[in-house]
Structure 1
Amino acid sequence: MPRRIIKKYMPDPKKLQEQKSLRFLGKLLEDPGLLHLTRRSVAKAFLVGIFFAFIPVPFQMVLAAAGAVLLHCNLPISVGLVWITNPITMPVMFYGTYLVGSWLLGVEAQPMPDELTLDWLSDLIAEAWWPLYFGSAVTGAVFAVLSYFGIHLLWRWHVNKSWRTRKSKPENNG
């Protein structure tokens, strides 16, 4: 059932190749595996999309698209998952990854001020870029791997449930 719902919203391969933002991938976009909805393709798409959602860089979607092409996984899911990081979730996610990076590096984390100012932000960026990026990479990798295996488990559970349901239904002989 989830596959049918997702397929309804999948882009047309021709339209995907005509996207201006993806032209840098050229002939690589002709890979039919970029739109497949298999357990492996979707799990790898989650791996790529979740990882790049946690990396604080511009053009996360382009990086996710390149990662999907390199790993031969579902491109729309990879790119769509990057939107986990949006203007609403971004401050919490990146401050959390900054705290993780500070903790892992043994650096004292700067507390959030009562009032957010550009001066505070520029000072924080000058001091905190290494804990932020290190924490983002580690957190992104952990959540990406967890989502990869989680998708495998959920997919198998769903298939097994479908088989049990099908097996338990009485057959129609008429």
Structure 2
Amino acid sequence: MPKKFIKRFSPNPETLKAHPHLKHFGAKLQNPNLWHINRRSAAGAVAVGLFCAWMPIPFQMLLATFVAMFFSVNLPISVALVWLSNPFTMPPLFYGAYRLGAFILQQPLMDFHFKLSFHWIINALETIAPVMFLGCFILGCISAFVGYWGFTVFWRYSSAQKWKKRKRTPKR
């Protein structure tokens, strides 16, 4: 079941290989493991996508692409899962990461108010960013671990259910 569900929503690999922005990757996109859907490739892609979703950097999808190519896991799944952190979910995710980082480093929580200015960003990089980056890294690792093993268990359970259904179905 997971394979059919994933294939239904996955784009055609040939279309992606011909995409103007992805042509820059050249022969690296020809690796069949980037497009094949099996338990290992899909579970690895879930881990990559969830880890990259926690990274508070621009162009998370590009990072997920490079990491997926490095580990030879399914590329479309990796890139799609990055969108779990989107403009609506980023504030609570990154604030939670900041709180976790402050707890681990035993630092008091700072009272800050976001302002879209160069001065605020530079000040934030010096004060709250290191704490938040630590929290993001830890939560990214935990999410990747739980996502990998959770998806593996789900895939195996789904496969076992499929086999049970086959055994119960009378042959024609």
2:128 and 2:21 map into 1 onto residues whose CA distance is 31
Shift of 1:51: 0.1
Shift of 1:27: 1.1
- What percentage of aligned pairs have identical amino acids? 36
1:47 and 1:6 map into 2 onto residues whose CA distance is 16
Task: Calculate the aligned-residue CA RMSD, in Å.
Answer: 1.9
Q: Number of aligned residue pairs: give it.
A: 170
Q: Does the C-alpha gap of structure 1 residues 169 and 60 become closer, same or farther in structure 2, counting only changes over 3 Å?
A: same
- SS of match in other structure, 2:68: helix
Pairwise mapping of residues 1-174 of structure 1 onto structure 2 (< 5 A)?
1-111=1-111, 116-118=114-116, 122=121, 123-172=123-172
Q: Relative contact order: is structure 1 or structure 2 higher (C-alpha 8 Å, sep ≥ 6)?
A: 2
1:20 and 1:112 map into 2 onto residues whose CA distance is 41
Q: Does the C-alpha gap of structure 1 residues 60 and 164 become closer, same or farther in structure 2, counting only changes over 3 Å?
A: same
Shift of 1:20: 3.5
Query: Normalised by the size of structure 1, how large is the TM-score?
Result: 0.89
Listed one character per residue, the Cα deviations across residues 36-55 of structure 1 (whole Å, up to 9, x for unaligned) are 11000000001100000000
- List alignment gaps of at least 5 residues for structure 1: none
Shift of 1:24: 3.9
Q: What letter corresponds to residue 36 of structure 1 in structure 2?
A: H
- List alignment gaps of at least 5 residues for structure 2: none
Shift of 1:82: 0.3
2:165 and 2:58 map into 1 onto residues whose CA distance is 46
Shift of 1:18: 2.6
